[in-house]
Amino acid sequence: MSAEPAKPKDSTRRAFLKQSGIALGGIVVGGAIGGTLLRPKPKVETKIETKVQEKIVEKPVEKVVEKTVEKIVPQPVYYNQALMYFNLEQFAIAEAAAERIFPQDDLGPGAKELGAAFYIDHQLAGAWGNNSRDYMVGPFPKAEPTQGMQTKLTRKEIFALGLQALQDYSQQKYKKPFAELSAAEQDDVLKIFEAGEEVKVEGTSATAFFGLLRTATMEGIYSDPMYGGNKDMQGWKLKRYPGNQPSYFNDIEKDGFIVMEPKSLHDHMDH
C-alpha cells in the first residue's frame, strides 16, 4: 500500500496564518466592540417640555359709586289724633277757628299744629261733651249774665249748632266755607260771634258758643298731651311750664327761675 504523499509545509503555514488572522481579527473586532461597550455612555440631556395652560378667569369689576344719601328720620305717628265726635267738615271749621284764636307766630306754633281741635273733639265725645256731671233737668229760664250758661243743650250739641252757624254765616257773607276764608275774614266772622249781635244760635247764643270754643281751644293748647292737644308739649315749652314733674325736692330751695324739660303723664310709665 503506497503512503499518501506528504502535504507541503507551506500549506500548513498558510493554515496557521489563516487561523491566526481570524483570531487576531476577533481580537481587533472584539476590542472594538468591547471598547464600545465599556466606554462610559455620554449623558444625554432630555428636555421635557411641560406645557402650562393658563386659565384666564374674567371677574366682573364692581364699580363703587359714592352717593350722598340724606338720612330720612321717620316722623312720629300720633295715634291719638283721630276723630271721635266731629265729622270732617266740623273738624275743618273747628281747626280753622282755633288757629285764629291762637295763631302761629314768631314765638311758636299755633292751635292747629298743637292739635287743639283734636282735644276739643275728644272732650265732646266723652263725659264733658255730654254734660254728665251737670244738672240737666228743667226748667230753663232765661239766666242772668252772672249765672253762666243755662240751656238744655249739651256741649256737644252746642258745638254742632255753633260750627254750623259759622259755616252758614261765612257762606252768606263771603260765599265760601269758613275754613277757606282768609285769616282776616275768619277774624271778622269770629268777632261777630263774640259780640253775639248779628247771629243767632238756636237754643243758646253766639256769644256763649264763642266763649265755649275759646276756652276749649286754650285747654287743648296747655293740657297734657295724653288728651290729644299740646303736641310734643310745645304749648308748655312756650310758657316754660315744667309739666308733670315727679318731684321738686332737689330744686325747691334754689334761688331764681329754674327752666326744666317738661314731662307728661306718659313719661312716668317707666317708673
pLDDT in tens, 229-244: 999 999 999 999 999 9
Task: Label residue 148 by pLDDT band (50, 70, 90).
Answer: confident
Per-residue model confidence (pLDDT) at position 27: 45
Task: Label residue 26 by pLDDT band (50, 70, 90).
Answer: very low
Per-residue model confidence (pLDDT) at position 71: 76
Per-residue model confidence (pLDDT) at position 29: 45
Which stretch of 64-73, 80-89, 109-118, 259-268 has the lowest confidence by average pLDDT?
A: 64-73
Residue linked to cell 466606554:
39
Per-residue model confidence (pLDDT) at position 28: 44
Which stretch of 56-65, 248-257, 262-271 has the lowest confidence by average pLDDT?
A: 56-65
* Sequential DSSP letters for 126-176: STTTTTTTS---S--PPPPGGG----SS-HHHHHHHHHHHHHHHHHHHHSS
Task: Tell which wins on pLDDT, 68 or 213.
Answer: 213
Q: Residue 110: is it exposed, middle or buried by C-beta count within 10 angstroms (0-12/13-18/19+)?
A: middle
Buried b (16+ CB within 10 A) or exposed e, 245-267: eeeeeeeeeeeeeeeeebbbeee
User: What integer is the mean pLDDT of 118-145?
Assistant: 90
User: What integer is the mean pLDDT of 144-166?
Assistant: 90
Q: What does the domain layout of the chain look like in residue ranges?
A: 88-241
Percentage of the chain with pLDDT > 90? 52
> What is the spatial distance between Cα 222 and Cα 183, in angstroms, rounded to a whole number?
23
**Alpha-carbon distance values, 242 to 39, 71, 235 (Å):** 117, 32, 11
> What is the spatial distance between Cα 267 and Cα 246, in angstroms, rounded to a whole number?
10
